[in-house]
A and B are shown apart, each in its own frame.
Chain A
């Protein structure tokens, strides 16, 4: 199963290494990891998505994270009211003849921008839930996806 963990950590060299090292040596699989400045100077917020883990391992992950001196707090927020988003940049093949069909697909979604365009491709920027991004990719697949970059989930609790 998949879980979303939110952590507030000191913004110092080596912190990411400490955290990823703990996940690796305890055998927890990181599906995605996003990190950036938080509202507090000197602290970063991380959203870590883990998959293929058992229920019994969730507490292990958060308590082991808490044991890292530079982790201020770490919670499993999967089952809490939350806002979860991901951004993807998709470079998709688009010739003048197929471009119209692709734009039709884009109209089906919210949070879309055409970030760049050339004679034979379009770079699409989509921000949404994982499901929205997955269905966008399914629809674009037949046109040929040249490159894909996803940020991984970012999340905040909404309570």
Chain B
């Protein structure tokens, strides 16, 4: 059967199980959009900006584990995807981006809306393709999905010239196999390394598990729970690891690192063995390498061999996926009690709790805690980047697998609007709350139109302090209070919501916080809450960049006027 390139893409997407794509049309990609009309089984969501399409595909992928797909035209359209691709690349999100390109004959001649998108995205994609023949499309798409979702997942970009989208090619059947001799993810770990690791665990008195995003990527949540309970090992988490282990579990210590709880950081420092499962020991976790957990040995389980010894030298490196490795380990790990070590954890939680300062004004921490109380940690959370993100990570210990998504590696402000949209589309029946900053929200708020069109019942909690809060905190602490360009007052938020036919609520009094959350939960549709919060407040604890737990700063007011909320 003779099909045009655009039809080959649609047929191939269907073969890959794709039923939802996010995108924005334009000149070079028009033939694909023309053919899309013949494939109602692929739903297309029209975002208002290509960045929104990329983050939405990312949020959808993180919430479901499927490959997220986004589409853009050549030149500016493709370039607008870049921050979304880089966000996905840093956080290992499986994505496929399809971009239009100028016709083959025009490439390299500075044609209208031409740009070298495969060149631009080289460092922020796992792989990319410039397709020069329509007949290559099915195999390229097959490979792209395989590369995107296996090993350490990541975004793959496919750039297709307009005349390739139109070119006819014979299509009999979708390829069943692929031949990529240079691409062999190492899923099954070496037994000898696993035995060495188990030996360390069985001999350890004070072990701790550091759970990263690799746990969720490989679907190893059950295996993690099993081994932690069997060997009674407390679990700390990276920012992206949140959701790998139930936040309310007695062994869960939650977030560690720069803004992790004091008890989690001290526990890591006092441990004699850190078992890193699917994280890369990045600088936000480790701080100063020489002073990080100086008494501990390190087991490092990762699917990406380049993560081994990248930041920190492991005593037992294991290349493999978290699920296969934990399955092998579980059987060999000895069941034990560790009464003393767990008692020490309880002592640390009591001495160094996470807490909320007493205040008459509304603190973001208070809102997040009330949100947790109201939803019992069962809502799906998306955050932006900054202070609210750290407070959400500390104070909303999620109990939901894949229930906390955030731009961790790249720290992309504005992620909270389109990613929430993607998460809600992937989990249509679940309650999705986007904890947003007023700074980040203003970067991507055009997607409120998409949310309205798609009738997505996302709830936005905007922490409105009219400041770039985290920038202000750094200027206060590290630049002698010299505030520079941080006043970022937004629009009248309720009017903005109203302009998009979205329910808007403004909350100015602490006593109204809980009822506003309830009202939003009860409303059958999207809600935007403008929480007018305390302008100046700092995220504590804080380990300054490049330092260690010895330099950790806890809230100076902690023991005078505050209440412990989370032990």
Q: Which residues of A contact B (CB under 8 A)?
A: 9-10, 13-14, 17-18, 21, 25, 56, 59-60, 63-64, 66-73
Which partner residue on chain B sits nearest A22 by CB separation? B123
In the complex, B1 has a CB within 8 A of chain A: no
Question: Other CB < 8 Å A-B pairs besides A21-B122, A59-B308, 4 of them?
Answer: A9-B182, A14-B118, A60-B309, A71-B182
Task: Determine the chain B residues whose CB is within 8 A of the CB of A25 once the complex forms.
Answer: 123
List, in ascending order, chain B residues with CB within 8 A of A21's CB. 122-123
Q: Does B478 contact A (CB under 8 A)?
A: no
Nearest CB in chain A: distance from B305 CB, A = 4
CB-CB < 8 A to B180: which residues of A?
Answer: 69
Q: Given A63-B308, A69-B147 in contact, is the A17-B123 Cβ separation under 8 Å? A: no
Q: Are A18 and B122 in contact (CB under 8 A)?
A: yes
Q: Which residues of A contact B181 (CB under 8 A)?
A: 72
Chain B proximity of A56: nearest CB distance (Å): 7
Report chain B residues within 8 Å CB of A17. Answer: 119, 122
A68 adjacent to B308 (CB under 8 Å): no
Question: B182 and A63: CB pair below 8 A?
Answer: no
- 10 smallest beta-carbon distances between A and B, as pairs: A63-B306, A63-B305, A72-B182, A69-B127, A69-B183, A64-B306, A72-B181, A21-B122, A71-B182, A25-B123
In whole Å, how far is B318's beta carbon from the nearest beta carbon of chain A? 14
- Chain A residue with Cβ nearest B182: A72
When distances are taken between beta carbons in the complex, the residues of chain B under 8 Å from A18 are 122
In this complex, how many residues of chain B approach chain A with their Cβ under 8 Å: the count is 19
Bound Cα distance from A13 to B107, whole angstroms: 14
The CA of A17 and the CA of B130, in the complex, are separated in Å by 14
5 A-B pairs with CB atoms under 8 Å apart are A17-B122, A56-B309, A56-B313, A69-B127, A69-B182
Q: Which residues of B contact A (CB under 8 A)?
A: 118-119, 122-123, 126-127, 130, 147, 180-183, 304-306, 308-310, 313
Min CB–CB distance B149 → chain A (angstroms): 14
User: Nearest Cβ in chain B — how far from A104, in angstroms?
Assistant: 50
Of all chain B residues, the one with the shortest Cβ separation from A72 is B182
Q: Is the CB of B119 within 8 A of A68?
A: no
Residues of B within 8 A of A10 (CB): 182
What's the minimum C-beta distance from A100 to chain B, rounded to whole angstroms? 52
Given contacts A17-B119, A69-B126, contact A60 B310 (CB under 8 A): yes
| Alpha-carbon distance between A73 and B183 when the two chains are bound, in angstroms | 10
| Set of chain B residues within 8 Å of A67, measured between Cβ atoms | 304-306
Q: How many angstroms between the C-alpha atoms of A56 and B183 in the bound complex?
A: 24
Whether B306 and A60, one on each chain, are in contact in the complex, defined by CB atoms closer than 8 angstroms, is yes
- Chain A residues, Cβ within 8 Å of B118: 14
For B306, the closest partner residue in chain A by CB is A63
Task: Assess whether B309 is in contact with A59, with CB atoms less than 8 Å apart.
Answer: yes
Which chain A residue shows the least CB distance to B127?
A69
Contacts of A69 in B (CB 8 A): 126-127, 147, 180, 182-183
Contact: B305 with A66, CB < 8 Å?
yes
Which residues on A sit within 8 Å (CB–CB) of B182? 9-10, 68-73
Residues on B with C-beta less than 8 A from A64 are 306
Please measure, in the bound complex, the distance between the C-alpha atom of A66 and the C-alpha atom of B313, giving whole angstroms: 20
Task: Enumerate chain B residues within 8 angstroms of A66, measured Cβ to Cβ.
Answer: 305-306
Cα–Cα distance between A59 and B314 once the two chains are bound (Å): 13
Q: Which residues of B contact A72 (CB under 8 A)?
A: 181-182
Contacts of B306 in A (CB 8 A): 60, 63-64, 66-67
Chain A proximity of B260: nearest CB distance (Å): 27
A71 to B127, CA, bound (A): 12
Contacts of B308 in A (CB 8 A): 59, 63
- The interface residues of chain B lying within 8 Å CB-to-CB of A9 are 182
Give the CA-CA distance A143 to B123 in the complex, in Å.
46
Which B residues are CB-close (under 8 A) to A59? Answer: 308-309
B126 partner residues in chain A, CB cutoff 8 A: 69
Give the distance to chain B from A6, nearest Cβ to Cβ, in Å: 15
Provide the residues of chain B in CB contact with A60, threshold 8 Å.
Answer: 306, 309-310
Residues of A within 8 A of B183 (CB): 69
Q: For the complex, what is the distance from the CA of A49 to the CA of B180, rounded to whole Å?
A: 26
Most buried by B among A56, A69, A72: A69
